[in-house]
Amino acid sequence: MTFKPQHQAPTDAAERRAIKPVVVYPNGTLPEPDFATLAEFKASMKKVNEVIVPPRDARTFHVPKGYFFRIVSVDGPQVGDLNLWNANDLKERFFSGKTRALHRTHLTTGDRLWSNMPYLRSMALISEDTLDWYGFDEDGGSVHDVIGTRCDPFTNRLLSGNDYHHCCHSNLCRAFRDETGMSMQEADHYVHDVLNVFMCTGFTKDTHQYFMKASPVRPGDYLEMFAEIDLLGNLSTCPGGDCSTGHSSDEAACYPLKVEIYETDPALQDKWDWPAPSAYQHP
């Protein structure tokens, strides 16, 4: 028999549970993006490059500061796992946990993707989301989450005893290796928790477990971001396809994703308040 202690509730248990929650970072804590200037940048957009990410694979891409990039559904419902780094300093990378705390569990237009400490600055601003209509469904699910990590071969081996080499972590590592010349073992330390693009997720209401369900994404949908620093991006097409049944296998129908890169009018650069690394210094 498994030993699992269960303690008796104290006499004031109901009183303790009734204490009202406090939002840690209330709306309005962060400065609002300059949407008027952002609209000027968007009006000047010109597509200069695109990258196709094959099914069950990953590709890297570069986005200069002041450019836009779009992750686009092309052939069928497919989710993607996104990593971002400072293209000039790979120690600075996307920090999904702090992004979740500063914004919410699922991101949409107006939310920012923040970098790790000690930098802690905005890397990219979500400028358009064609799935913003979805909101939260009756199961508590929504899209573009920063609560899941990424499917990975280590957890897969832990749970199943089997090795699978096209988990998103593996895909991202291979693409990062090809970009940087590092070994797969070195890449393990740079690939990080992701923005789950197009993925529909939440927590069950009874057991509070992380769940996924069929993504509502359809060909032509996209998530667009404005680069606030020079970015190296890395996108994996999840082996779970639309994540309606499972992941980390070859069973699901999978489709490519497209990354489109857009330049903007350089004359607008002086109108944007570009984020600097945190000025905090240890005493």
pLDDT at residue number 73? 98
pTM assigned to the model: 0.96
pLDDT at residue number 6? 87
Mean pLDDT, rounded, for 46-60: 98
DSSP 10-48: PTTHHHHHTSPP--SS-TTSSPPP-HHHHHHHHHT-EEE
Residues 6+ apart with CB under 8 A from 59: 51, 52, 53, 175, 234, 235, 259
pLDDT at residue number 246? 85
Average pLDDT, the chain: 97
DSSP 243: S
Dist CA 51 CA 31 (whole Å): 33
| Band (1; pLDDT cuts 50, 70, 90) | low
Tokens of 13: 């248990």
Tokens of 126: 């979500």
pLDDT at residue number 247? 83
Mean pLDDT, rounded, for 246-250: 86
pLDDT 10s digits, 159-200: 999 999 999 999 999 999 999 999 999 999 999 999 999 999
Mean pLDDT, rounded, for 117-135: 98
Task: Give the distance, in angstroms, between the CA of residue 25 and the centroid of all CA atoms in the same chain.
Answer: 20
Domain boundaries, the chain: 49-265
pLDDT 10s digits, 191-228: 999 999 999 999 999 999 999 999 999 999 999 999 99
Q: Is pLDDT of 2 > 80?
A: no
pLDDT 10s digits, 63-83: 999 999 999 999 999 999 999
Instruction: Check if the beta carbon of residue 79 is closer than 8 Å to that of residue 254.
Output: no
Dist CA 56 CA 201 (whole Å): 20
**Whole-number percent of the chain with pLDDT over 70:** 99
DSSP 101: H
CA angle 19, 22, 24 (to 5 degrees): 150
pLDDT 10s digits, 79-102: 999 999 999 999 999 999 999 999
pLDDT 10s digits, 17-35: 999 999 999 988 999 999 9
The residues that bridge with 145 in the sheet, in sequence order, are 106, 196
Coil, helix or strand at residue 149:
coil
Q: Is pLDDT of 3 > 90?
A: no
Dist CA 28 CA 30 (whole Å): 5
DSSP 206: T
Q: Which of 96, 90, 82, 124 shows the shortest CA–CA distance to 234?
A: 82
Are β-strands 89-93 and 80-86 bridged in parallel, bridged antiparallel, or unpaired? antiparallel
Are β-strands 122-129 and 112-114 bridged in parallel, bridged antiparallel, or unpaired? antiparallel
